[in-house]
Amino acid sequence: MTNDEHRIRTLIEAWAAAVRAGDLDGVLTGHTDDIVMFDVPPPHDGVRGIAAYRQTWPPFFTWLADGADFDILSLDVTAGTDVAFAHALLRCGTPDTYAKTPELRLRLTLGLRKVDGEWQVSHEHHSFPDSSIPDPTALIDAATTDPGSGT
């Protein structure tokens, strides 16, 4: 593991610890002012900017305080000279969630850039698999078919 990969891993692990602790300042640390986040809940076109990112966390903290988990299970980091990405799987749910779907994992992808020598998260994407879609290719085909063209 390179020094940059270690620094990024440490940043992400500290972020996850801050999330678990409900520490908003800690969650915001290491994020760019122009962060873009695509999250599980709306808005569907994402959240842009650190002020909007900040507003997404208090409801999540309340949910966590009611007994939910937020634990990194796996984390992979790839770092270049001034940009990097990471992807992780997290256990993120309530005991009821895991009773119904024990294998459920939150998928996390992060884009980072080096700003003044420090790694910062500039893109964050959270998602859960959607098992209600029996054939994802049919969904893609339906979304990309132009009804006016006959294709």
| CA separation for the pair 121, 31 (Å, rounded) | 5
pTM for this entry: 0.86
Q: How many CB atoms lie within 10 A of CB 90?
A: 19
State residue 41's pLDDT score.
83
Per-residue model confidence (pLDDT) at position 151: 46
Which tens digits make up the pLDDT trace of 54-112? Answer: 999 999 999 999 999 999 999 999 999 999 999 999 999 999 999 999 999 999 999 99
pLDDT reading at 149 higher than 60 = no
Q: Is the pLDDT of residue 130 over 90?
A: no
**How many whole angstroms separate alpha carbon 96 and alpha carbon 93?**
8
Report the chain's mean pLDDT, rounded to a whole number. Answer: 91
Of 143 and 48, which is predicted with more confidence?
48
Q: Cα(20)–Cα(34) distance, rounded to whole angstroms?
A: 24
87 close to 108: Cβ distance less than 8 angstroms: yes
Give the whole-number percent of the chain exceeding pLDDT 90.
77
